[in-house]
Amino acid sequence: MRICSNEPCIVLLTEKDTWLRVNGKEPINLKANHMAILACENNVIDISSLIAC
C-alpha cells in the first residue's frame, strides 16, 4: 500500500513483520507488534502490508 499525505506524520502499528520504503530509498523492516511514527508530509511511503482501521 502507498501512503501520500499532506499530514505532518502518521502512526503505524504492526501486527506482523512489515517492510516500508520512504521515497524509493532502502527498505526498512518493522518487527511485529511495534509502533512507528513516520514523517509523512511530502514523502511517499510504500508499506508491504497494511490493514486499515
At 38 the pLDDT is 87
Q: Per-block average pLDDT, block size 10, for the chain (53 residues)?
A: 82 89 90 90 80 48
Cα–Cα distance, 42 to 53 (Å, whole number)? 23
Rounded distance between C-alpha atoms, residue 42 and residue 24, angstroms? 13
* Beta carbons within 8 Å of 35's beta carbon, 6+ residues apart: 11, 12, 13, 14
Rounded to two decimals, the pTM is 0.67
Distance CA 49, CA 46 (A): 9
- Are the beta carbons of 31 and 20 closer than 8 angstroms? no
